[in-house]
Structure 1
Amino acid sequence: MTVTRVLPLTGIHNFRDYGLYPVAGGGRVRPGLLWRSAQHGDATDADLSVVRDLGIGTVVDLRGNSERDAKPCRRYPGFAAEVLFHDGETAGLHVQAAASNPSAAEARAAMQRLYEGIAFRPTLVPMIQRYFAALQDRDGASLVHCVAGKDRTGFAVALLHHVLGVHPDDIMADYLLTNVAGNIDQRIATGAEQIRAKYGAIDEDTIRTLMGVEPEYLEAAFAAIRDAHGTMDAYLADVIGLDDAAQDKLRARFIA
């Protein structure tokens, strides 16, 4: 099976289909329905033309108010998708990890600590809930994104992959694809500009750490979930409100 996953866009980074993976019991996640990316504030007209042709009807924007204000998403003419967002702040990773001008090692440790709380962040949980509600109730393709499309987005996507029965190795592979998808140098340069504008001179190694992902981050999030709830499914039911019937509905929609 030929898999075309990453779209080579110019101003929208980390834009990719997170379907296509095989699932437990047979079948695959349907392609062309589940998209993820970084923010669209620097999208070119050509990028927007590609996005328009995907037929995306729902956009789940995991950014907080200040992030959306700082970099409003560009839209193509006639854009009519519904955009879901949280009226408040949802960030916590880069803000805290970069605030003290850390070394790369310190930033890496901070990112791992912060992932330990990502599943329980009071301002992010409501958006994860809205993400899963939208996937259950809305037809057509959807897009989920944050600033870089790697932490908040990566966590949300990993949860859905778990529900759909994607193998843990593929869940991790999709998460780590952030590190190689698209124009990495341009994505890092864009992130560096924003981070340095807010926090001052931060060295290149630290910037690359802040703009990348590592297995230990997602593993830390999942370990914290298991510590608090015993299993991923218990967390999904207790915190996200995703019971067995809701999970069955998602599998019926997105597995072919």
Structure 2
Amino acid sequence: MIDADTRVLPMQGIHNFRDYGGYRARGGAIRLGVLWRSGQHGEATADDLDAVHRLGIATVIDLRGDSEREACPCVRHPEFEGHVLFHPGETASAHGRAAHEEAAEQVRTAADAHAAMIRLYETLPFRPVLVGTYRLYLRALVDRDGASLLHCLAGKDRTGVAAALVHHLLGVHPDDIVEDYLLTNTAGNAEARIAAGARHVRAGFGRHMDDAAVRVLMSVHADYLDTSLTAIREQHGSVEAYADAVLGFGKADIAALERRLIV
């Protein structure tokens, strides 16, 4: 394994940029330098883009909805020649909000925010457009060469569930899966990420929301991820059965994923 300081890359305009490889898994360890995750790149600086370009990313999986992409187009390096994959439609809500923004409706206190995030995570693994992009994501990891980058708006909810699914399918220990998920709360300049996200939340919902509630919405908690995984197991029995039935990713695909990513 590598430590948190090593796996997180410092960026100015891209938040939560990090390698989610390196963990012990079934039959070895996940390769480093091929699985990247982050928030959106709409405010990336030239230095950020140079740093991303040096990673040789061949595939970008954009978990945002159409409205989010239109409102905040990602900036790419002038020499970027990779593929950007997404399923068309809205992955968070019909109004094109990010997942944490959707959860913010009717939130006033930190307790309200926590409960809203729990409700949100019950639905994330089953939202049709998000499921469509998760399918593209898993297939790309098997079929496409080169490094990949997985992102949504803040890189914490839709991205967090997606990364956790890959970790589960590769046999990463549950404690390490949660550790990687919670790294969002400290990766890079977390305060700048919270402030950036809070501007969006406050613009739509913040008139009566206290500061603690905003912070809860812009952070992650182990309860949230557990809620998604529990919902998956309640409906399908296991993450593997969910991947097969919902994502069209069966045992042979998992074996191919291991051959690609385990060393």
TM-score band, normalised by shorter chain? over 0.9
Instruction: Write out per-residue CA displacement over residues 117-161 of structure 1, whole angstroms, 9 at most, x where no aligned residue.
Output: 111111211111010011111000000000000100000000000
Q: Which residue of 2 aligns with 1:73?
A: 74
Pick the aligned partner of 1:234 from 238, 241, 255: 241
Offset of 1:87 from its aligned partner?
1.6
SS in 2 for 1:57: strand
Amino acid at match of 1:216: D
Cα distance in 2 between the residues matched to 1:7 and 1:242: 31
Structure 2 unaligned spans of 5+: 94-98
When the two structures are superposed, what TM-score results if normalisation uses the length of structure 2?
0.94
Cα distance in 2 between the residues matched to 1:95 and 1:52: 30
Pick the aligned partner of 1:204 from 180, 189, 211: 211
Identity over aligned pairs, percent: 57
CA contact (8 A) 2:169 2:239 kept: no
Offset of 1:115 from its aligned partner?
0.7
Q: Which residue of 2 aligns with 1:222?
A: 229
Q: Which residue of 1 aligns with 2:17?
A: 15
Aligned length: 255
Structure 1 unaligned spans of 5+: none
Q: Which moved more, 1:56-65 or 1:83-92?
A: 83-92
Offset of 1:96 from its aligned partner?
3.0
Could you list the runs of 4 or more consecutive aligned residues of structure 1 that deviate by over 4 angstroms after TM superposition?
none
Q: Which residue of 2 aligns with 1:169?
A: 175
Q: Which moved more, 1:181-190 or 1:89-98?
A: 89-98
CA contact (8 A) 1:89 1:123 kept: yes
Amino acid at match of 1:171: I
- Cα RMSD (Å): 1.2
Pick the aligned partner of 1:141 from 139, 147, 160: 147
Q: Which residue of 1 aligns with 2:100?
A: 94
Cα distance in 2 between the residues matched to 1:37 and 1:56: 13
Offset of 1:2 from its aligned partner?
5.3
Cα distance in 2 between the residues matched to 1:252 and 1:100: 46
Instruction: Write out per-residue CA displacement over residues 176-195 of structure 1, whole angstroms, 9 at most, x where no aligned residue.
Output: 00001000111011001111
| 2:261 is the counterpart of 1:254 | yes
Instruction: Write out per-residue CA displacement over residues 98-123 of structure 1, whole angstroms, 9 at most, x where no aligned residue.
Output: 12243111111010111111111112
